[in-house]
Chain A
Amino acid sequence: QKEVEQNSGPLSVPEGAIASLNCTYSDRGSQSFFWYRQYSGKSPELIMSIYSNGDKEDGRFTAQLNKASQYVSLLIRDSQPSDSATYLCAVIQGAQKLVFGQGTRLTINP
């Protein structure tokens, strides 16, 4: 089992709809969870961090964490073509090591 798993996609969502990205992790002791957005050819950009169970909202983005199910998700409301990118889930495990999933490629269709 991979430490951090994401569906690689591609995930296609119509403009204006909600995009839902999911991630599961293996280390039950993980404490910190992050979502990064990476445009093609560019470096990852941090868009959300979440540390406790529940929802965290920032503009059109909502991160959801369920530690009991070892599951973290990212919702993007009112999806825009500029949201088309690869989204990386990252989890701090063990000795403060950030482990990345493979990423989900998201395409927003106008």
Chain B
Amino acid sequence: DGGITQSPKYLFRKEGQNVTLSCEQNLNHDAMYWYRQDPGQGLRLIYYSQIVNDFQKGDIAEGYSVSREKKESFPLTVTSAQKNPTAFYLCASSLQGLYEQYFGPGTRLTVT
């Protein structure tokens, strides 16, 4: 059963703590992406990776970090430096950069 999984679905953290969001895909896609969505807003790109061991900053990378050690996995760490971390985080993947992106179910992060 191919697809993109994100865990957990809901995550609660105290301010000042780092938190890592998981994203795994078994679609054999080369490219993976992290987006953030705030209520009533569109999606904003945080980081993306076109190939293993390589990744680029998106529009709002400050306060976030990623790694791409395996083709299937692209975890996102929300650090304490991120000023407004509460949001809906979406992971996506695509065969290559110019092709359709498919999204996982998302992780809703709440920091208090």
Which residues of A pack against B, CB within 8 Å? Answer: 31-32, 34, 36, 42-46, 49, 88, 90, 92, 95-98, 100-103
Please tell me if the beta carbons of A44 and B100 are within 8 angstroms of each other in the complex: no
Which residues of B pack against A, CB within 8 Å? Answer: 33, 41-43, 45, 48, 50, 58, 90, 97-106
Q: For B43, list chain A residues within 8 Å (CB).
A: 44, 88, 100
Return B21 CB to nearest CB of chain A, in Å: 13
For A2, the closest partner residue in chain B by CB is: B42
Please tell me if the beta carbons of B99 and A97 are within 8 angstroms of each other in the complex: no
Return B64 CB to nearest CB of chain A, in Å: 16
Q: For A102, list chain B residues within 8 Å (CB).
A: 41-42
Please tell me if the beta carbons of A46 and B101 are within 8 angstroms of each other in the complex: yes
Identify 7 new A-B residue pairs, CB closer than 8 A, beyond the known A34-B100, A92-B98: A46-B102, A88-B43, A96-B50, A98-B33, A98-B45, A100-B42, A102-B41
